[in-house]
Structure 1
Amino acid sequence: MAKTIDFSNFHTDLMRTIDGDGAIIQDRVMFGAERLGSDFTLLLTRDRAPLVRMSVKDAWRPAGDNFDPKAALEVKTRFASFKEADIDLEFKYSDIKEAYQTYLGWLKTPGLSLNDVNKNPFELFFLGYILAKHFEFLRLNTAFKGVYNAAGSGAGSLADGFIAKFATGRGVGGDIAASHVFTAAAITASNAYAQVNGVADLVAATDQKLLNENLNVYTSRTVYDKYRQNRRTLFPNHVGPADRPTTLDDYSNMTFVNEPGLAGKDTIVITPKQNLLFVCNEDINMFSINIVKQIKSWQLTVRVSLDFDYATPDWIYLNDKV
């Protein structure tokens, strides 16, 4: 349940800083990022903390007198790293008045006068609306397509998204094996079925045990619709125009996910949902809200520390259209 931040004890002539209480921001993060929490695995951890995958190797052998030690554990590690992000806002009294007089104002602040709202406009503007929208931008513009740009603006410049991370991972010296990358063609309604199955076949060829796990097949809606069209052409006696498959025909453990962050891309990614992480820094000193009352406005800045990353390259399978 999202909590309400109470600003009623703020002295209106002074700057007030809410700092060192990360729970406040984390509650807001969770409130504004409900879709992030449902689409990806949320991880609260420290900067440079290891994202560890441990694989136990089979060391059994028939009993005998000889001591023949085997490596019993393989550890692969990626490190969480964070980018700091700011939201800088200014609420002019004219803006507050305009919002107060709209449907939003009646919905959010029933029974309060305009003067009351001017003294404490943050419930009207901030708690349930602006921060939620900013995390919606984060979901659509950063999760997959983001490219970090320290001098940039907008959610797409905050951090590298999964596409950039995958490109690095499959590059020279990267941690995604070449056997996990399918050589793709531009996806059309004539080849989409084979292109999607081509990535899925890599899973079967390299890690049979993953066929026992629930895997997501992340594509844009356009790629998915081309897959449907191609499927109708290939199996006209069995598939109709209203047929919308949720899993791959040949792999019942692989479920389609229409990913809004892949809009306009031919990228296909197959991985467990728990392998795609939305990472927040658990260090509460990295979270802050600063609020200043100016003569004719309120100024507010929010700073958070976050990133998107994959936990293990062993569970990433994709085409090379990134």
Structure 2
Amino acid sequence: MAQIVNFENFGEDLLRTIDGNGEIIMEAVAYGAESLGNDFTVLKTRDKAPLVQLDVKDAWKPASDTFSGEEAIAVRSRFATFKEGDIDLEITLSQIKEIYQSYLGWTKAPNRTLNDVNDNPFELFFLGHIIGKHFQFVRTKTTWGGVYNPAGKGAGALADGFITLFTAGRGVGGDIVASHVFDGAALTDANAYAQVNGVANLVASADELLLKEELNVYLSQTNYDKYRRNRRALFPDHVGPADRPTILDDYSNMKFTVDPGLIGKDTIVIAPKKNMLFVCNDDPGKYRLNIVKDVKSWKMSIRASLGFDYATPDWVFLNDNV
């Protein structure tokens, strides 16, 4: 049974539990990002670290007396950069008690061991709950649509999302080459099938080796449904209204990933999951928690260091619609 918490000392208990160690907050941030890990890669690394393991090109040749060396690197890598963000909250005693009821339910779950409870005191459970809830906002507002705004509020101002990054990448001086960008149109029930295939065909044209990789096809629920209706109209003898394809008809390695962050967007992106990164700075000094007791509440500020990026432009294929 979990030890009863003295809520009047909650702030002190929380700070004592984390002991000023930013690493615990960093772990809570990584735990909160688990929902992102379904469709993206969660990576803990340092600022300016390369985001992809660079591949070595094949330099073998038949023996000879001449030297013609090969360039060493096969993949263009990007480097991690981070933004610092705050979660600023005012939490009442009744809200803390409400979360505590959830904690008690967690401790009584079947197969829960005493070690599980000892390793996860209420203060850490509370911290994970708060950060986990806020990552729901990150998932829907930052992942694709985020635009970093130091003076802004809300998850959409936290960091640049993939749309902002890809727009810069395919612009003048960007690192995404034109042959990876499909010159498409707004998606409709009459063209969605061809639009998705248009992006997929770029993969086959640019790098056939990627056809051996599992690739995600990121698009909104609305545009996935347009694809379904268009597919049904094109192949009425084979496709029914309940048919929900998980992969593209012409490419068995390309899996649909319906993304809540793409609501209202005509964006289509095809990339391996390992190329689509949520990055956490693994420097514990960049994470901290402050909590102050007010008259009827606690004021809490959690600072994190994180961002989104793609590891290499060589594994990004997209349409030119936002």
Which residue type is aligned with residue 250 of structure 1? D
User: Is the alpha carbon distance of 1:20 and 1:74 closer, same or farther for their aligned partners in structure 2, counting shifts above 3 Å?
Assistant: farther
Q: Give the secondary structure class of the aligned counterpart of 1:88.
A: strand
Task: Name the residue aligned to 1:135.
Answer: 135
* Alpha-carbon displacement from aligned partner over 1:138-159 (angstroms, at most 9, x marks no partner): 1111011101111110001000
Which residue type is aligned with residue 40 of structure 2? F
Tell me the CA shift for residue 248 of structure 1. 0.6
Residues 1:201 and 2:201 aligned together: yes
TM-score of the two chains, using structure 1 as the length reference: 0.85
User: Is the alpha carbon distance of 1:235 and 1:294 closer, same or farther for their aligned partners in structure 2, counting shifts above 3 Å?
Assistant: same
User: Is the alpha carbon distance of 1:79 and 1:68 closer, same or farther for their aligned partners in structure 2, counting shifts above 3 Å?
Assistant: closer
Q: Give the secondary structure class of the aligned counterpart of 2:147.
A: coil
**Conservation of the 8 A alpha-carbon contact between 1:42 and 1:278:** yes
Which residue type is aligned with residue 97 of structure 1? S
Task: Name the residue aligned to 2:37.
Answer: 37
In structure 1, how many angstroms separate the alpha carbons of the residues matched to 2:245 and 2:85? 39
Task: Name the residue aligned to 2:292.
Answer: 292
Q: Give the secondary structure class of the aligned counterpart of 1:129.
A: helix
Task: Name the residue aligned to 1:247.
Answer: 247
**Conservation of the 8 A alpha-carbon contact between 1:148 and 1:156:** yes
User: Is the alpha carbon distance of 1:131 and 1:66 closer, same or farther for their aligned partners in structure 2, counting shifts above 3 Å?
Assistant: closer
Q: Give the secondary structure class of the aligned counterpart of 1:89.
A: strand
Task: Name the residue aligned to 1:234.
Answer: 234
Task: Name the residue aligned to 1:146.
Answer: 146
Task: Name the residue aligned to 1:56.
Answer: 56
In structure 1, how many angstroms separate the alpha carbons of the residues matched to 2:26 and 2:199? 37
Tell me the CA shift for residue 127 of structure 1. 3.0
- Stretch moving more, 163-172 or 7-16: 7-16
Aligned length: 302
Q: Give the secondary structure class of the aligned counterpart of 2:51.
A: strand
Tell me the CA shift for residue 89 of structure 1. 1.2
**Conservation of the 8 A alpha-carbon contact between 2:181 and 2:320:** yes
TM-score of the two chains, using structure 2 as the length reference: 0.85
**Conservation of the 8 A alpha-carbon contact between 2:11 and 2:298:** no
**Conservation of the 8 A alpha-carbon contact between 1:43 and 1:278:** yes
Which residue type is aligned with residue 138 of structure 1? V
Q: Give the secondary structure class of the aligned counterpart of 1:292.
A: strand
Residues 1:183 and 2:180 aligned together: no
Unmatched tracts of structure 2, length 5 or more:
106-121
Which residue type is aligned with residue 129 of structure 1? H
CA-atom RMSD in angstroms:
2.8
In structure 1, how many angstroms separate the alpha carbons of the residues matched to 2:6 and 2:82? 29
Which residue type is aligned with residue 127 of structure 1? L
Which residue type is aligned with residue 155 of structure 2? A
Tell me the CA shift for residue 135 of structure 1. 0.9
Which residue type is aligned with residue 229 of structure 1? R
Which residue type is aligned with residue 226 of structure 1? K
Task: Name the residue aligned to 1:171.
Answer: 171
In structure 1, how many angstroms separate the alpha carbons of the residues matched to 2:54 and 2:101? 54
Unmatched tracts of structure 1, length 5 or more:
111-121
- Stretch moving more, 287-296 or 73-82: 73-82
Which residue type is aligned with residue 82 of structure 1? F
Tell me the CA shift for residue 15 of structure 1. 11
User: Is the alpha carbon distance of 1:15 and 1:26 closer, same or farther for their aligned partners in structure 2, counting shifts above 3 Å?
Assistant: closer
Task: Name the residue aligned to 1:97.
Answer: 94
Residues 1:274 and 2:286 aligned together: no
**Conservation of the 8 A alpha-carbon contact between 1:51 and 1:77:** yes
- Stretch moving more, 168-177 or 42-51: 42-51
Q: Give the secondary structure class of the aligned counterpart of 1:63.
A: coil
**Conservation of the 8 A alpha-carbon contact between 1:267 and 1:318:** yes
Tell me the CA shift for residue 21 of structure 1. 1.8
Which residue type is aligned with residue 262 of structure 1? L
User: Is the alpha carbon distance of 1:109 and 1:212 closer, same or farther for their aligned partners in structure 2, counting shifts above 3 Å?
Assistant: closer
Which residue type is aligned with residue 237 of structure 1? D
Task: Name the residue aligned to 1:114.
Answer: none
Tell me the CA shift for residue 70 of structure 1. 2.9
In structure 1, how many angstroms separate the alpha carbons of the residues matched to 2:194 and 2:147? 30
Which residue type is aligned with residue 38 of structure 2? S
